[in-house]
Amino acid sequence: MAADTHAQDAAHRRDRAVRAAVEQGLLDREPVVCLLDVAGIRASAAALTEAFAAAVAPGTPVLHTFAVKAAPLVPVLRLLDACGLGCEAASPGELALARAAGVPAERTVLDSPAKTAAELRGALALGIAVNADNHQELERLDALVAAAPTRSPVGLRINPQTGAGSIGALSTATATSKFGFALRDPGARERLVRAFAERPWLTRLHTHSGSQGVPLELIAEGVRELHGLAEEINAAVGKRRVDTLDIGGGLPVDFASDGHAPSYAEYVAALRAAVPALFDGSYGLVTEFGRSLLAKHGLVLARVEYTKTTGGRRIALTHAGVQLATRTVYAPAAWPLRILAYDAKGAPRTGAPVAQDVAGPACFAGDLLATARELPELFPGDVIAVPDTGAYAFTAHYGYNSLPRPAVHGFTTTADDTVRFALARPAQSPAELVTEAGGDHRDALL
């Protein structure tokens, strides 16, 4: 019942935000804008921390980090920092965003399969946690740690090789995944145990086998493998060498409704069933959630510019397409998105459903957010809203056709349903586009 209430509250806030965006002129200044529900983000962060707090033994160190790649916006990272979450960065750019947001080094983790020596040296100097991806990186760390001892927690990323989910491109625990130390290859476990026995500064193990399309049981299996390896290492070394398990993130998101399933409480329950000892206080815990924290709280709003009928099919041409929902356009079966119809004043549009394509502005035929979608008939000037886009969508712009990055506004609602917007990222101007495209160097190739 509580989950239903939260979903209803979020849907109410969404409808109010759409109307307010129209009434306050956001869609007059630009034909597409993106919104983030601040209350929803705060609620997701609280649900995550509460689910783990209810399960772990008292005094267990737990650090929840946000995967920056899911929503690389400094105000988002700052908001989550205020909610007690750190950052998981997978590039120098993401690390720079976390630093700009004021996230402390001790609540930051650096993961990437291709870190340069300079990246590693900088992270170690700051005291940022580092998870090494492979044996060659571990050898690079040997030299760096010998040259300048560090306070950074250092661990190894493990690929438990437990298998794929339904989206192959996002499955990171396959037999041949590019990520991490393969655990089931011949001689792999022995080599990993030896690595820890020889390096007192190695204190963590990391895995990330969850993502969209990966069921809870498979995620939990990967964590069970990680815990088992930690126990094996500590027994072999004869002391508690591994003190922290970074169990990643990757909780799937329901893109078909306003529901939040699976929940963080269900995730924790699956872990407790598969690895009961995970929560007994023997190990500190780190998580790295992204999509599940932000996706449900993002909304794209776009004006319908034109409508037409071609070959008997209704088509609504809008300003929202591949630049904002890249995965949906290129892999619609794996990444379907809902489309909500509103009239020109921002009120939910009613009427008999009509099969319509909802097309974006890019110059290729596949730029479609929905095909033959049953919606109330759309007209020029109407507004479409695309929910569940707060992660890996408009926050990570795709620059096809030099389409500009749209403005991103956070919104909050007061007790009397007043909606207040706060600019989190301004729209990209034509001048900024030109500069980004080398405009200051126009004669360089002559």
Looking at residue 166, its pLDDT comes to 52
pTM above 0.85, yes or no: yes
Along the chain (446 residues), what's the average pLDDT of each consecutive run of 10 residues?
A: 74 95 95 97 97 97 98 98 98 97 98 94 98 96 96 94 56 63 86 96 91 79 93 96 95 90 94 96 97 97 97 96 96 94 97 97 96 97 98 94 97 93 97 97 97
Tell the burial category of 127 from Cβ atoms under 10 Å away from its Cβ (0-12, 13-18, 19+).
middle
Angstrom CA distances, 157 to 149, 315, 349, stand at: 21, 47, 49
Looking at residue 1, its pLDDT comes to 47
Angstrom CA distances, 190 to 99, 134, 198, 347, stand at: 37, 15, 12, 63
- 300/294 Cα distance (integer angstroms): 13
- 191/75 Cα distance (integer angstroms): 42
- Taken in order 326, 368, 168, 400, the sign of the CA dihedral is negative
Active centre residues (catalytic): 363
- 17/39 Cα distance (integer angstroms): 12
Residue with the two structure tokens 């979608």: 373
Looking at residue 169, its pLDDT comes to 56
- 206/187 Cα distance (integer angstroms): 19
Neighbours of 330 (CB within 10 A): 13
Looking at residue 215, its pLDDT comes to 82
Amino acid at 443: D
**How many CA atoms lie within 13 Å of 96's alpha carbon, on the beta-carbon side?**
4
Looking at residue 105, its pLDDT comes to 98
Amino acid at 280: D
